[in-house]
Amino acid sequence: MIITVATLAIPALILPVLSAFGVKHKRLPEALTVAALFLAAIQLPFVLLSTAYAEAAGGIWYYPQNLIRFDGISFIFSLTVILVAMMVAISSSTMLEGDSNKPVYYSLLLFTTIGMVLVSSTADLIFLLISWELMTVPSFMLVALKKRDSKANEAAIKFFLAAALSSALILFGISLAYGIAGSTNLYALRDALANLPPGGTPLVLLTAALLLSGFGVKMAIAPFHFWLPDTLSGAYPPVSALLAAGSKKAGFAAALRVTVLLVLAGKFVAVAPTWQLALGIVAAITMTWGNLAALTQKSLPRLLAYSSIAQAGYIMIGLAVQGTAGFFFGLLGLLLHVLFHAVMKGAAFISLRNIGSNVDDAIGLYKKAPLTALGFALALFSLAGLPPLNGFWSKLFLFMGAVQGDMAWLAAVGLINSAISLGYYSYIAKKMFFDDPVTEGPGVQHPDVLAVLVFASLFIIVTGLYPEPLIRLISLVAG
Amino acid sequence: MAVPVISLMIFLPAAGGLAVYLSGRLGEKAPKYLALAISLVEAALAFLAYAIVFAAEGPFGVSSFLLQEEYRWVGNLVTYHVGMDGLSGPLVLMAVLLTALATGGSFFEIKDKQPSYYALMMFFLSAAVGVFTSLNLILFYFFWEATLLPMFFFIGVWGGPNKRYAAVKFLLFTYAGSVAMLLGFLLVYFLTPGATFDLVTLLNLPMPAWIQAAASALTFLGFGVKLPVFPIHTWLPDAHVEAPSPISVLLAGLLLKMGGYGFLRFNLELFNGAAVQYAWVYILIGVVTMFYGAVVALMQKDFKRMVALTSINHMGFVLLGAFAGLAAGSAAYGISGAIFQMFNHAFAIGAMFMLAGFVKHGAGTRDLTVIKGLRAATPKMGLMLILASLAGMGAPIYSSFLSEFMVLLSGIVYSGWLWVAVLVPGITAAYMLWMLWRAVLSPPSPGAKYIDIGRNETIYLALYLVPLFILLIAPGLLLAPAANFARVVVGG
Residue A1: strand, helix, or coil: coil
Nearest to B179 among A419, A435, A468 (CB): A419
Rounded Cα–Cα distance for residues B314 and B307 (Å)? 10
B130: pLDDT confidence band, cut at 50, 70 and 90?
A: very high
Confidence (pLDDT) at A110 = 93
Strand partners, B84: B66
Confidence (pLDDT) at A171 = 93
Whether B60 shows a pLDDT value over 60: the answer reads no
Q: Do B156 and A433 touch (CB under 8 A)?
A: yes
Å from B116 to nearest chain A CA? Answer: 12
pTM above 0.80, yes or no: yes
Range of the domain at B458: 279-492
The total number of structural domains that make up chain B: 1
Count other Cβ atoms within 10 Å, centred on residue A348. 33
Confidence (pLDDT) at A111 = 93
Whether B492 shows a pLDDT value over 60: the answer reads no
DSSP state of A242: I
Q: Do A415 and B171 touch (CB under 8 A)?
A: no
With CA atoms as reference, report the closest residue to B378 among B348, B355, B407.
B355
Q: Do B171 and A422 touch (CB under 8 A)?
A: yes
For A346, the enclosing helix (H) or strand (E) is: helix A327-355
B331: pLDDT confidence band, cut at 50, 70 and 90?
A: low
Entry field: residues in chain A: 479
Instruction: Determine which of A287, A413, A422 to mutate to test the interface with B (most B C-beta atoms within 10 Å).
Output: A422
Å from B325 to nearest chain A CA? Answer: 33
Interface residues on B facing A, Cβ-Cβ cutoff 8 A: 72-75, 138, 141-142, 145-146, 148-149, 152-153, 156-157, 163-164, 167-168, 171-172, 175-176, 179-180, 182-183, 186-187, 189-190
With CA atoms as reference, report the closest residue to B352 among B226, B451, B436, B441.
B436
Report CA Rg, chain A.
21
With CA atoms as reference, report the closest residue to A216 among A154, A267, A266, A173.
A173
Q: Do B156 and A423 touch (CB under 8 A)?
A: no
Residue A311: strand, helix, or coil: helix
Instruction: Determine which of A363, A426, A435 to mutate to test the interface with B (most B C-beta atoms within 10 Å).
Output: A426
End-to-end CA distance of chain B: 27
Å from A325 to nearest chain B CA? Answer: 11
3-state secondary structure chain B: CCCCHHHHHHHHHHHHHHHHHHHCCCCCCHHHHHHHHHHHHHHHHHHHHHHHHHHHHCCCCCCCCEEEEEEEEEEEEEEEEEEECCCHHHHHHHHHHHHHHHHHHHHHHCCCCHHHHHHHHHHHHHHHHHHHHECEHHHHHHHHHHCHHHHHHHHHHHCCCCHHHHHHHHHHHHHHHHHHHHHHHHHHHHHCCCCCCEHHHHHCCCCCHHHHHHHHHHHHHHHHHHCCCCCCCCHHHHHHHHCCHHHHHHHHHHHHHHHHHHHHHHHHHHCHHHHHHCHHHHHHHHHHHHHHHHHHHHCCCEHHHHHHHHHHHHHHHHHHHHHHHHHHCCHHHHHHHHHHHHHHHHHHHHHHHHHHHHHHHHHCCCECCCCCCHHHHCHHHHHHHHHHHHHHHCCCCCHHHHHHHHHHHHHHHHCHHHHHHHHHHHHHHHHHHHHHHHHHCCCCCCCCCCCCCCHHHHHHHHHHHHHHHHHHHCCHHHHHHHHHHHHHHHHC
User: For residue A468, what is the nearest residue in chain B, using CA coordinates?
Assistant: B74
For residues B181-200, give the mean pLDDT. Answer: 86
Who's near B426: CB < 8 A, 6+ residues apart? none
With CA atoms as reference, report the closest residue to B243 among B344, B170, B173, B300.
B170
Q: What angle do CA B391, B396, B397 make, to 5 degrees?
A: 65
With CA atoms as reference, report the closest residue to A1 among A69, A96, A100.
A69
End-to-end CA distance of chain A: 21
A191 part of contact set with chain B, CB < 8 Å: no
Confidence (pLDDT) at B483 = 82
CB-CB contact of B331 with B487 (8 Å): yes
- Interface size between A and B, measured as CB pairs under 8 A: 79
CB-CB contact of A442 with A373 (8 Å): no
Contacts of A471 in chain B (CB under 8 A): 74-75
B123: pLDDT confidence band, cut at 50, 70 and 90?
A: very high
Query: Could you check whether the bond before residue B475 is cis, i.e. omega within 30 degrees of 0?
Result: no
CB-CB contact of A83 with A21 (8 Å): no
Rounded Cα–Cα distance for residues A69 and A60 (Å)? 8
Å from B28 to nearest chain A CA? Answer: 19
Q: Do B172 and A471 touch (CB under 8 A)?
A: no
Rounded Cα–Cα distance for residues B66 and A42 (Å)? 47
Q: Do A434 and B164 touch (CB under 8 A)?
A: yes
Whether B376 shows a pLDDT value over 90: the answer reads no
Q: Do B146 and A388 touch (CB under 8 A)?
A: yes
With CA atoms as reference, report the closest residue to B195 among B80, B70, B77.
B77
Strand partners, B75: B73
A469 part of contact set with chain B, CB < 8 Å: no
Instruction: Determine which of B153, B179, B219 to mutate to test the interface with A (most A C-beta atoms within 10 Å).
Output: B179
Domain boundaries, chain A: 270-479
Rounded Cα–Cα distance for residues B182 and B218 (Å)? 8
Q: What angle do CA A224, A228, A234 make, to 5 degrees?
A: 155
Q: Do B141 and A427 touch (CB under 8 A)?
A: no
A427 part of contact set with chain B, CB < 8 Å: yes
Rounded Cα–Cα distance for residues A395 and A315 (Å)? 9
Confidence (pLDDT) at A162 = 92
Whether B158 shows a pLDDT value over 80: the answer reads yes
B272: pLDDT confidence band, cut at 50, 70 and 90?
A: confident
With CA atoms as reference, report the closest residue to A362 among A449, A438, A275.
A438
Count other Cβ atoms within 10 Å, centred on residue A206. 13
A273 part of contact set with chain B, CB < 8 Å: no
Confidence (pLDDT) at B330 = 67
Residue B390 lies in a domain: yes
Rounded Cα–Cα distance for residues A464 and A143 (Å)? 33
Rounded Cα–Cα distance for residues B259 and B173 (Å)? 13
Who's near B59: CB < 8 A, 6+ residues apart? B476, B480
DSSP state of A437: P
CB-CB contact of A337 with A314 (8 Å): yes
Count other Cβ atoms within 10 Å, centred on residue A17. 11
A396 part of contact set with chain B, CB < 8 Å: yes
Q: Which parts of chain A have pLDDT scores under 50? A: none
- C-alpha distance from residue A192 to each of A261, A449, B34, B94 (Å): 11, 50, 70, 67
Rounded Cα–Cα distance for residues B151 and B244 (Å)? 11
Q: Do B156 and A408 touch (CB under 8 A)?
A: no
**Angle formed by the axes of helices B137-146 and A391-404, nearest 10°:** 140
A328 part of contact set with chain B, CB < 8 Å: no
Confidence (pLDDT) at B454 = 84
Residue B269 lies in a domain: no
pLDDT digits (tens, 9 = 90+) for A319-375: 888 877 788 888 899 999 999 999 999 999 999 988 888 888 888 888 888 888 899
Residue A296: strand, helix, or coil: coil
